């Protein structure tokens, strides 16, 4: 059966349909149920010919075939299925996107015939466009028999997004079309047109390679009108809504369960919204939502499956308000939820939902957090924010943490830890480690006759982080927070949160313990012993103090955090930096099934780099090539600056930090920061074109003083007489006499 692409999709309305309002005959849950169970009926099956669907850069033609419309839901037709002859034509607008398209299709242009299509859409014109090509048909029952089960299966991925589009139909920007095209030379693939997305057009295909699911994004870009209006910067348009000012109260019951209640402020930035979709870990269930004390209707989606859910780790919750929200008018929402969001890796080492979100949110957004946790007294809890009090009562401890400034995300960890403290100026650094490592790692160590003790390394971890803070504060700007908490977590991955670092158990091992696991190569030893912690500490500036705007800018955060860590390694041991850079180079030049890894694409493709063609390309390109790009910029400035120091390099980085009032940076911001410090020797000047002098024929009486615009400014150039020559650079209309500009010969 067809693979599922989980994306924000929509639903069409017929021309006569009125938008759903508060007080519609069906509530949101009933509408959602109808959307998940589309009905095809013989009276809505037609022969169709010569219908062209044109949306910006997207061109789809249904030449000849049979189409069945889905039965309308609340007055809206919600989709269609088609079989016959059709064609799609799409021209990606730039070289990078054409190269990306060619990687997966063999051509920089998508021009494919298809013989089947599944459509879900919300576009007022689309149903009328389809109806214009309708003819009567036979064998409607046979057609429905082929498509009914397929339509219901695929509807699971569309339901919540279509519901949002339907309820928000008063929003004039609600235009969505999703095509799933089959019978092509390239197999089944998906085409998405979403007017609400920052990149409105996307083509993708779900693939399984070596037992792993991937969503290969062939191309993604802003639609033509957005490009024409200069709206190609993903940060140029505000989000549909903003979430801020959290108050959360959580009761923790190790090793798995959490129940929580709290409040958040939601502010709509566009008119016409009545439904809002938030993310929440798939392991948590919402039990109550209220606005001004009144219950709010909500739907928690269970349809996300497969590779998309594995990547996100989050479910979606739709909040349906009784009336349309007013633009820029905040509302306060209270909520309750619970579930087994924590996991025990053994030896009392816990982690919070793999890549999940433990509180309702709309993605990283800078907000204030007031967090209170209730947990057993024999456990230690660390969290983002500054400790604001702790009370012990009846065998349970209640601890409160309050952020000192808005932060992009909040986190916590729980364990039975030993701790150590260090300082970096006024910044307090605490490290927390258990007496054991997770079961899987402990078993491997036991086979080698070892019993690692992470707590033995806890002081060294605290001191290393403090040294990193001192180095980076001197070169960038003061540490963004008053404290840094570092806590051991099971697994190979480390993560940075504002004022909090989750550090892999592997970084708490001594060299002999790592050797017992078979780790002997210089790069991996450097990574675990020095680079990993310093990299995550550098993320307190790059990723926490400032974040990326879109997936195309994510590389900046990773590359700058990584290079900041490398510069600290270089200060103590220059050979260490060479080992790391050489390793990155070797990984970029490594042969993969579809070529060398470097061919996966530019750093600005971000998470799109990892695909069925290049499964590990994200890490190798974003970290590897990204680090080399920053190294190149630093080397150029050192060589051109004359003093062979890094003053210009750090001036650019400080400017990037200082000139980001929204706390987010883009690739263009990085470019501007380095342009500002670029010495003359690195400035490129376009060679002047040669031309013969021009003559002016204005009357002598009007030419005693002539004002001409040069280089964008008006300046006086003195007297000219009829027939006198002027430099080619002054080929402009005379501001004094208004004559035509002199013509260059």
Q: Give me the pLDDT at residue 339, please.
A: 94
Question: From the CB of residue 343, how many other CB atoms can be counted at a distance below 10 Å?
Answer: 16
**Does the N-terminal peptide bond of residue 235 adopt cis geometry, omega within 30 degrees of 0?**
no
Buried b (16+ CB within 10 A) or exposed e, 665-697: bbbebbeebbeebbeeeeeeeeeeeeeeebebe
Mean pLDDT of 242-262: 96
Q: Would you state the structure tokens that stand for residue 513, as one six-digit string?
A: 């313990």
Cα–Cα distance, 673 to 683 (Å, whole number): 14
What are the Cα distances from residue 379, in Å, to 353, 396, 413, 416, 501?
18, 9, 10, 5, 18
Cα–Cα distance, 652 to 148 (Å, whole number): 59
Mean pLDDT of 127-142: 91
Q: Give me the pLDDT at residue 689, please.
A: 57
Q: What's the residue count for the chain?
A: 745
| Residue 86 pLDDT greater than 80, yes or no | yes
Name the 3-class secondary structure at 165.
helix
Q: Would you state the structure tokens that stand for residue 362, as one six-digit string?
A: 């709309």
**pLDDT band of 592, cuts 50, 70, 90:** confident
Domain 237-410, classified CATH 3.10.310.30, yes or no: no
Looking at mean pLDDT, say which of 12-26, 132-146, 310-324, 343-357 comes out highest.
Answer: 132-146
CA angle 638, 643, 647 (to 5 degrees): 60
Name the 3-class secondary structure at 366.
coil
Q: Give me the pLDDT at residue 413, please.
A: 94
Tens-digit pLDDT profile for residues 174-183: 678 999 999 9
CA angle 481, 487, 491 (to 5 degrees): 130
Lowest-confidence segment of 4-13, 302-311, 401-410, 614-623 by average pLDDT: 4-13
The answer to whether 296 and 318 have CB atoms below 8 angstroms apart is: no
Q: Find all residues with CB under 8 Å of 595, minimum gap 6, and list them.
A: none
Q: Regarding predicted confidence, which is higher, 169 or 739?
A: 169
Q: Pseudo-torsion of CA 521, 527, 530, 532, nearest 10°?
A: -170
pTM summary value: 0.84
Q: Give me the pLDDT at residue 716, please.
A: 35
Q: Give me the pLDDT at residue 2, please.
A: 28
Name the 3-class secondary structure at 736.
coil
Cα–Cα distance, 425 to 96 (Å, whole number): 46
Domain boundaries, the chain: 28-228, 237-410, 561-682, 688-745
Tens-digit pLDDT profile for residues 264-276: 999 998 888 898 9
**pLDDT band of 122, cuts 50, 70, 90:** confident
Q: What is the DSSP letter of 551?
A: G
CA angle 518, 519, 521 (to 5 degrees): 130
What are the Cα distances from residue 240, in Å, to 328, 553, 606?
10, 20, 23
Looking at mean pLDDT, say which of 198-202, 548-552, 578-582, 641-645 comes out highest.
Answer: 578-582
Name the 3-class secondary structure at 81.
strand
Cα–Cα distance, 536 to 542 (Å, whole number): 9
| Residue 698 pLDDT greater than 50, yes or no | no
Q: Give me the pLDDT at residue 642, please.
A: 74
| Residue 402 pLDDT greater than 60, yes or no | yes
Look at phi and psi of residue 715 and say left if phi exceeds 0, alpha if psi is from -120 to 50, else beta: beta
Of all residues in the chain, the percent with pLDDT exceeding 90 is 68
Q: Find all residues with CB under 8 Å of 146, minimum gap 6, and list them.
A: 83
**pLDDT band of 292, cuts 50, 70, 90:** confident
Beta bridge partners of 110: 90
Tens-digit pLDDT profile for residues 439-486: 999 999 999 999 999 999 999 999 999 999 999 999 999 999 999 999
Helix/strand/coil (H, E, C) string of 393-445? ECCEEEEEEECCCCECCCCEEEECCEEEEEEECCEEEEEEECCCCCHHHHHHH
CA angle 163, 237, 332 (to 5 degrees): 60
Q: Give me the pLDDT at residue 693, please.
A: 44
Q: Give me the pLDDT at residue 687, please.
A: 63
The answer to whether 104 and 613 have CB atoms below 8 angstroms apart is: yes
**pLDDT band of 14, cuts 50, 70, 90:** very low
**pLDDT band of 246, cuts 50, 70, 90:** very high
| Residue 8 pLDDT greater than 50, yes or no | no
Q: Give me the pLDDT at residue 83, please.
A: 97
Name the 3-class secondary structure at 215.
strand
- Burial (CB < 10 A; 0-12, 13-18, 19+), residue 704, is exposed
Q: Give me the pLDDT at residue 237, please.
A: 62
Q: Find all residues with CB under 8 Å of 52, minimum gap 6, and list them.
A: 59, 60, 61, 129
**pLDDT band of 169, cuts 50, 70, 90:** confident
* Element containing residue 533 per DSSP (H, E): helix 532-538
Tens-digit pLDDT profile for residues 205-234: 999 988 899 999 999 999 999 888 875 554
Residue where the block lists tokens 């960038």: 476
């Amino acid at each position: 059966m067809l693979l599922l692409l989980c994306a924000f999709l929509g639903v069409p309305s017929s021309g006569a349909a009125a938008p759903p309002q508060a007080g519609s005959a069906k509530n949101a849950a009933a509408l959602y149920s109808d959307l998940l169970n589309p009905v095809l009926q013989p009276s809505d099956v037609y022969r169709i010919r010569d219908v062209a669907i044109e949306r910006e850069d997207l061109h789809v033609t249904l030449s000849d075939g049979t189409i069945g419309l889905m039965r309308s839901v609340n007055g809206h037709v919600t989709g269609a299925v088609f079989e016959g002859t059709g064609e799609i034509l799409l021209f990606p607008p730039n070289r990078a996107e054409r190269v990306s398209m060619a990687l997966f299709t063999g051509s920089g242009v998508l021009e494919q015939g298809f013989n089947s299509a599944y459509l879900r859409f919300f576009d007022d014109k689309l149903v009328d466009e389809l109806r214009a090509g309708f003819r009567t048909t036979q064998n409607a029952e046979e057609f429905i028999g082929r498509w009914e089960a397929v339509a219901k299966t695929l509807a699971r991925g569309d339901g919540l997004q279509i519901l949002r589009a339907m309820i928000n139909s008063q929003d004039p920007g609600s235009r969505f079309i999703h095509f799933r095209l089959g019978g092509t030379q390239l197999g089944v693939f998906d085409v998405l047109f979403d007017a609400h997305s920052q990149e409105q057009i996307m083509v993708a295909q779900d693939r399984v390679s070596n037992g792993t699911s991937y969503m290969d994004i062939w191309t993604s870009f802003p639609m033509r009108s957005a490009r024409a209006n200069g709206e190609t910067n993903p940060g140029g348009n505000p989000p549909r809504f903003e979430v801020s000012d959290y108050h959360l109260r959580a009761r923790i019951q190790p090793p798995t369960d959490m129940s929580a209640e709290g409040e958040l402020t939601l502010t709509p930035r566009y008119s016409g919204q009545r439904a809002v979709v938030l993310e929440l870990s798939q392991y948590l269930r919402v039990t109550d939502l209220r606005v001004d004390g009144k219950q709010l209707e909500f739907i928690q989606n269970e349809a996300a499956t497969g590779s998309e859910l594995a990547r996100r780790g989050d479910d979606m919750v739709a909040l349906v308000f009784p009336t349309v929200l007013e633009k820029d008018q905040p509302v306060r929402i209270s909520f309750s939820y619970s579930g087994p969001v924590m996991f025990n890796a053994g030896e009392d080492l816990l982690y919070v939902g793999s890549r999940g979100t433990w509180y309702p949110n709309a993605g990283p957004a800078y907000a204030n957090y007031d967090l209170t946790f209730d947990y057993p007294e024999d456990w230690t809890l660390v969290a983002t924010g500054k400790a604001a009090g702790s009370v012990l009562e009846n065998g349970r401890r209640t601890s409160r943490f309050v952020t000192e400034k808005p932060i992009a995300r909040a986190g916590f960890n729980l364990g039975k830890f030993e701790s150590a403290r260090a300082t970096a100026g006024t910044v307090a650094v605490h490290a927390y480690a258990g007496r054991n490592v997770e079961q899987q790692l402990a078993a491997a160590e036991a086979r080698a006759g070892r019993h690692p003790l992470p707590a033995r390394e806890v002081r060294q971890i605290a001191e290393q982080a403090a040294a990193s803070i001192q180095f980076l504060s001197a070169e960038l700007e003061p540490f963004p927070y008053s404290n840094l908490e570092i806590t051991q977590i099971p697994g190979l991955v480390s993560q940075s949160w504002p004022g909090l670092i989750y550090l892999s158990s592997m970084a708490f091992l001594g060299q002999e313990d790592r050797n017992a696991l078979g780790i002997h190569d210089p790069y991996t030893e450097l990574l675990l012993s020095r680079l990993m912690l310093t990299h995550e500490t550098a993320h307190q500036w790059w990723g926490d103090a400032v974040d990326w705007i879109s997936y195309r800018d994510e590389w900046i955060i990773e590359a700058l955090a990584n290079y900041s860590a490398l510069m600290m390694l270089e200060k103590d041991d220059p050979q260490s930096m060479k080992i790391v850079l050489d390793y990155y180079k070797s990984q970029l030049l490594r042969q993969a099934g579809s070529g060398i890894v470097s061919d996966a694409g530019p750093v600005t493709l971000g998470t799109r780099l990892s695909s069925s063609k290049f499964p590990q390309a994200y890490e190798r390109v974003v970290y590897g090539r990204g680090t080399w790009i920053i190294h190149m910029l630093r080397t150029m400035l050192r060589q051109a600056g004359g003093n062979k120091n890094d003053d210009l390099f750090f001036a650019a980085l400080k400017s990037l930090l200082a000139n980001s009032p929204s706390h987010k940076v883009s690739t263009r911001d990085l470019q501007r920061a380095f342009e500002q410090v670029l010495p003359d020797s690195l400035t490129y000047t376009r060679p002047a074109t040669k031309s013969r002098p021009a003559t002016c024929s204005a009357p002598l009486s009007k030419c005693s003083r002539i004002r001409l615009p040069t280089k964008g400014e008006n300046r006086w150039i003195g007297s000219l007489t009829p027939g006198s020559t002027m430099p080619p650079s002054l080929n402009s209309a005379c501001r004094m006499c208004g004559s035509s500009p002199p013509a260059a010969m």
